[in-house]
Structure 1
Amino acid sequence: MRHPISSSLADTAKFTAVHAALVSETDESLPWLVTGAVLMVQQACVMSLSEAKAEIPAMPGPAELVARVADPATLAQPYTAPLLAADHRAFERVVGARNDVMHPRASGLLLDGAPLPDGLLVAVRLVRHLAITQPVRPSMMEASDAARLGDALSQIETSIDFWRTVLPGA
């Protein structure tokens, strides 16, 4: 079965948006939120790097992919992702939470959502930049996928804004 990456990205963003909306109501959505956020960033990075004909390692981690799309030597301007050092650190907290989900411990899972909103918003901004605002090739996103993706990213932002009002320390 062949599924275009633009469609997969839109599906992942929608999945992430659903869990972003639920996370203020139920702790069970937080693991899915961080997992979906990291996956959608990885998908957007791979799509952009592939379109730019940049080298993509066989098993790249999310931080490596983000570093590549933020490097003007790899992804030329204006396609380069505009990330600051603080953005990388914020996203790394989300990756760390996702890693805790993906590598279970015998004692169970304990995620703290308070340090995650900034990194989740970095993920949304990054995906929007790479896939909608400044795609390497405009036709790499089907119009219907771009619309679904844009809607999902907006829903995630709205949910995170609300989440910050109800989550102490966020």
Structure 2
Amino acid sequence: MKEPFVSILMGSDSDFPIMESTVEVLEAFDVRYELRVRSAHRTPEATGEYVRNAVDRGCALFIAAAGMAAHLAGSVAAMTVRPVIGVPIDAGPLRGEDALLSTVQMPGGIPVASVAIGKAGAKNAGYLAVQILSLSHPDLAAALAAERERNAAAILERSDRLQEKLADRTKS
């Protein structure tokens, strides 16, 4: 079997500063990925060719990011039965709200998992991709669990330090 990878598609290269968060998460978990610029409107044939080819080469799931009339995730979902995660980019006069609605309003039978608008959504798309892959890769599930434990410990430690600072303040 081919080693699975995640395909990250962006409607424009200007989306990369946001989607870099997805890349960082995938790299942190040593998950293979490809990153391409494809547009649902400007390069529909190239988008379809890429999606079909990626599936043939072992793509496990797609992350599609676009702003404004964000049809990329829906277009990709129409071409494959692999999971598709849509990332609405915070662009244009509506700051991503239009992209969110374009991403989430899919007809029954053509699902797109949608995450938050912008950088937080891009980061969560990476984590969701790792979670999906972890269903068949126990090492990823263990790595996710370990990271969550480290994050929880760090929050508690910062909370304790804050409480100590506040206690010192009241003593003065």
Task: For CA contacts below 8 A with separation 6 or more, give which structure has more relative contact order.
Answer: 1
Structure-2-length-normalised TM-score: 0.34
